[in-house]
Each structure stands twice: as C-alpha cells, then as structure tokens.
C-alpha cells in the first residue's frame, strides 16, 4: 500500500505524512526532530518550481542542494534513463564496460577542453569523488617511487564532502567537529577571503590572503611530502567566494614547481553553474584531476566523476599488485545513471544553458548589487548562477531567508549569507522575481535599524 500523500488528500493526509516524517526519517544537515520547513514535504516540480503536499508552490532558487540544474519534470532525461533500465540497468565496470559509461567518459573528455585531461572514473557522490581523488593522488606518487608524498593541502574554508577524509579536508566546524579522530595527512592554508568580512566587522578595505598563503603552507609542510593541492574554483559552502583572478594560475605554477598534483573540486561549479562548463575555465589553467557531481546528474541521476590527465592514469599500470586502480564501487558508473547524465549534457548543449547561466547570472548579480547600498548588506558576490548576498549578522540573514520562503522563493542560508543557485533553465523574468523577493526581505530585515 502506498503511503504517498498528495495535496488533494487534504489536511489529515498531510498531517499523517508529517507525523511519519518526524517518527521515521532522519534529515541531513537539519535539527533533529523537525519535519523540514514547517512540515515542508515536496511532492512535485515543474521547471524551476516545486510543489508541496499542502499545496504550496515555490520558485526553487537553490535547485534542491544546488543540483537540480535542469529543473524538474524533464521527460527527456527520464525517458533516457527508463529506456536504459529496460535494456540493461547496469553491469560492473570491473573488467567490463557498458555503452553509457563509455559514452559519458568520452563526452566529459570532450568538455574539459584539454586532450590530456581525458580519463574518467565514476562514483556516486561528490564526497566519493573527492575521496577518490585523494587516493588517486597518493597512489600516483607512490607508484612513481615517491611514497613520501602523502599530504593533501586544502583551503581552511573549503568544503569537499562529509566522509571522514573529506571532512578532514576542511576546517569548517560543522563539517568535522565531533567526528574526530579524523584521518591524518591534511593541512590547510588561509582562504582568499577577507578576515574582516568573515567576522562581519565594518571595514573600508579588504585584506585578502593570496596564493602566497598556499605557498607558505606548502613550504611549512615540506613540498616533498605534499601529494596534491585540492581547491574549489568557488568556495561554495563558505558562502560563495570565487577565487580571485590570477589565483589559480599561481597555484598551478606552484604545483608544477614542486611536483604537486592540482585537484579541482568542481562538484558544485561544474557543468555550467558558473557560466562555463568548468569553473577552472574562467582561469585558463588545466588541473591534473577534476571532480564533478551535482550538475552531472542534475538531480535525476546519482553520479559523480573523477577525470585525470593521461599521465596520471598511465602511472597505475606500474602497480605491482594489479596494474591498475585498486579502488571502486559496486554500482559506480551505473548504466542508468550514465544514460541520465548523457541526456543532461545533451540538454545543456541543445538549450545553450552554459551561456544562459552566464547571461542570466550577470543580470541577477547586477540587480542584487544594488543591495550593497543597504547598511545591513555586507557584500554581494558570485559568478554565473552561483551568488550570495551576505548580511552583517546571522540573524538578519536568517530573517531574509525565511521571509523569502514565505514570499514563495527558496534560497539557502550559509552562515550570514543568503545564497542562490537556481536551475540553469531560469528565465530572466524568474531572475527578476528572485531579486524582487530578496530586496523586499532585505528591506524588512533592516526595519529595526
């Protein structure tokens, strides 16, 4: 018997569903004992909007968890996955292959813009992809006779996942506190964000640590011990902080100088989110390893990827135990998920959504930038359709995010920043609605000044 409740089943049916939620479901990244936002149970979606069991409709300006990049109700993606499921749901990629996995790896290689960045391994989540990248980096050096390179260098405000190793890659308390002891071998450099901004103190000029902070951390750890530097092109969970111009280019130079692999975590930024296929393409550099997730499956398929340079891949042929990668997942590269991802890439290309994200994102950023005139707004920043409005206090940001939801627009609260990452299919009219809603909420939040 189905327990799904639809709006037409009335108040009693919705109440039963919320009661079952509170009794049985354990929510991620949420206070215990809650049932979402005032009992928010999402039952459907179309385009950039979602509907709830009690009949409410919201413009989803956060695309779920920044992953519903094509919006909702995409029959083209669903049909592709359905057809593949009927033909072959999946088959292990251990000593075998499937057509969707082969085709998706080929497509990703073509999108990187670099003939040498062309070999892809599939996982299920961003955390898995980034943990895989760590293992690949360490094994790469070991297989090249440099087993002393075990250290992974990341930014203090970076976020790379919720597994033990990826939690160790961050110094964000919510990502790691209480999970100790975390794996060793991870060091952190100061992030390229203003310390005064982070503390939300009034200031006239920003003093932002540059790539010299990476070099200092590298030298302190001992360059001969460092396997990889792992960076996000945009510090997402920290509140949407794009890396400054020239930053990644200098880090690329440091990696080349000291023999360190450069890993770019594009879990949040990849597949059009920033107005380019990959966030690193704004910086005109090439990583040694790049990870993808959210935009690859677009919320329809559970899939992530790790793409490496050919030279990294070829090193594994020297593995004396296997002659290849000693790592994998039973359903990694699931054929149905790969078919869905291929349909996602088709849609992004066919509808020119990468250029659309750049265009619509620029319009939205221009509108939101006017909020800087408000004393309660500390900063407005972003790239493509990944944006943030930071307030002077956590309480103001929370009131703004709540007021927007009451007004029918869902954003994401990250510290004192209200962040936006709507589907790439967002129209200019919907972008205007988001800006109007945020402006009304910001003005109301400042009503007590």
What CATH code is carried by the domain that includes residue 314? 3.40.640.10
Same structural domain, 291 and 370: no
In this prediction the pTM is 0.94
Final residue before a domain boundary, out of 322, 350, 378: 350
State CA 293 to chain mean position distance. Answer: 7
Could you tell me if residue 195 is inside a domain?
Answer: yes
Same structural domain, 246 and 145: yes
Same structural domain, 303 and 179: yes
- For the chain, the domain total comes to 2
Same structural domain, 288 and 336: yes
- Both tokens of residue 59? 């413009």
Question: What distance in Å separates the CA atoms of residue 270 and residue 268, rounded to the nearest whole number?
Answer: 6
The angle at the Cα of 302, spanning 150 to 405, to the nearest 5 degrees, equals 105
pLDDT at 280: 97
Task: Provide the residue range defining the domain that includes 205.
Answer: 77-350
Question: What distance in Å separates the CA atoms of residue 268 and residue 236, rounded to the nearest whole number?
Answer: 7
User: Which of 83-97, 184-198, 336-350 is predicted with the least confidence, judged by mean pLDDT?
Assistant: 184-198
* pLDDT tens-digit readout, 213-223: 999 999 999 99
Reduced DSSP (H G I as helix, E B as strand, rest coil) percent helix, strand, coil of the chain, to 5: 45, 20, 40
Same structural domain, 252 and 126: yes
Could you tell me if residue 35 is inside a domain?
Answer: no
* pLDDT tens-digit readout, 321-337: 999 999 999 999 999 99
* pLDDT tens-digit readout, 250-274: 999 999 999 999 999 999 999 999 9
- Band of pLDDT at residue 244, cut at 50, 70 and 90: very high
Could you tell me if residue 19 is inside a domain?
Answer: no
- Both tokens of residue 433? 């609605």
Question: What distance in Å separates the CA atoms of residue 43 and residue 55, rounded to the nearest whole number?
Answer: 9
Could you tell me if residue 30 is inside a domain?
Answer: no
The angle at the Cα of 96, spanning 93 to 97, to the nearest 5 degrees, equals 70
pLDDT at 175: 80
Widest CA span of the chain, in angstroms? 68
Contact of 53 with 36, CB cutoff 8 Å: no
pLDDT at 7: 47
* pLDDT tens-digit readout, 306-318: 999 999 999 999 9
What one-character DSSP code corresponds to residue 35? Answer: -
Question: What distance in Å separates the CA atoms of residue 101 and residue 115, rounded to the nearest whole number?
Answer: 19
Could you tell me if residue 15 is inside a domain?
Answer: no
Final residue before a domain boundary, out of 350, 377, 402: 350
Same structural domain, 217 and 91: yes
Could you tell me if residue 14 is inside a domain?
Answer: no
Could you tell me if residue 265 is inside a domain?
Answer: yes
Could you tell me if residue 258 is inside a domain?
Answer: yes
Closest CA to 39 of 52, 58, 49: 52
Same structural domain, 340 and 363: no
Same structural domain, 134 and 178: yes
pLDDT at 8: 45
């Amino acid at each position: 018997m189905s327990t799904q409740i639809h709006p037409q089943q009335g108040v009693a049916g919705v109440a039963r569903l919320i009661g079952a939620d509170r009794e049985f479901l354990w929510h991620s990244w949420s206070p215990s004992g809650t049932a979402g936002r005032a009992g928010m149970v999402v039952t459907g979606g179309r385009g950039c909007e979602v509907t709830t069991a009690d009949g409410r409709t919201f413009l989803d300006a956060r695309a779920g968890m920044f992953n519903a990049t094509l919006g909702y109700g995409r029959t083209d993606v669903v049909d592709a996955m359905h057809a593949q499921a009927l033909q072959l749901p999946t088959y292990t990629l251990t000593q075998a292959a499937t057509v969707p996995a082969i085709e998706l790896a080929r497509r990703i290689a073509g999108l990187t813009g670099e003939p040498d960045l062309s070999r892809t391994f599939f996982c299920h989540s961003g955390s898995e992809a980034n943990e895989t990248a760590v293992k690949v980096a360490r094994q790469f050096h070991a297989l090249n006779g440099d087993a002393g390179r075990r250290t992974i260098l990341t930014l203090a405000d970076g976020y790379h996942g919720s597994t033990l190793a990826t939690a160790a890659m961050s110094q964000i308390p919510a990502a790691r506190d209480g999970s100790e002891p975390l794996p060793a071998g991870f060091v952190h450099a100061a992030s390229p964000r203003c310390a005064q901004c982070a503390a939300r103190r009034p200031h006239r000029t920003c003093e932002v640590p540059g790539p010299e902070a990476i070099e200092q951390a590298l030298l302190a750890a001992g360059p001969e011990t460092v396997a990889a530097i792992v960076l996000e092109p945009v510090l997402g969970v920290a509140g949407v902080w794009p890396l400054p111009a020239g930053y990644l280019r200098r880090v690329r130079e440091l990696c080349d100088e000291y023999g360190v692999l450069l890993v770019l975590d594009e879990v949040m930024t990849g597949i059009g989110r920033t107005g380019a296929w990959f966030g690193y393409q704004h910086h005109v550099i090439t990583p040694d390893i790049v990870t993808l997730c959210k935009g690859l499956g677009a919320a329809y398929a559970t899939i992530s990827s790790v793409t490496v340079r050919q030279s990294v891949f070829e090193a594994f042929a020297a593995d004396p135990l296997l002659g290849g990668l000693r790592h994998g997942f039973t359903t990694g590269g699931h054929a149905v998920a790969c078919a869905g991802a291929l349909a996602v890439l088709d849609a992004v290309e066919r509808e020119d959504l990468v250029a659309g994200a750049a265009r619509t994102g620029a319009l939205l950023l221009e509108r939101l930038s006017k909020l800087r005139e408000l004393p309660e707004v500390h900063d407005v920043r972003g790239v493509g359709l990944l944006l943030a409005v930071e307030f002077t206090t956590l309480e103001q940001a929370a009131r703004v995010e709540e007021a927007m939801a009451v007004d029918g627009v869902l954003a994401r609260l990250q510290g004192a920043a209200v962040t936006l990452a709507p589907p790439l299919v967002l129209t200019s009219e919907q972008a205007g609605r988001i800006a109007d809603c945020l402006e009304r909420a910001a003005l109301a939040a400042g009503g007590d000044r």
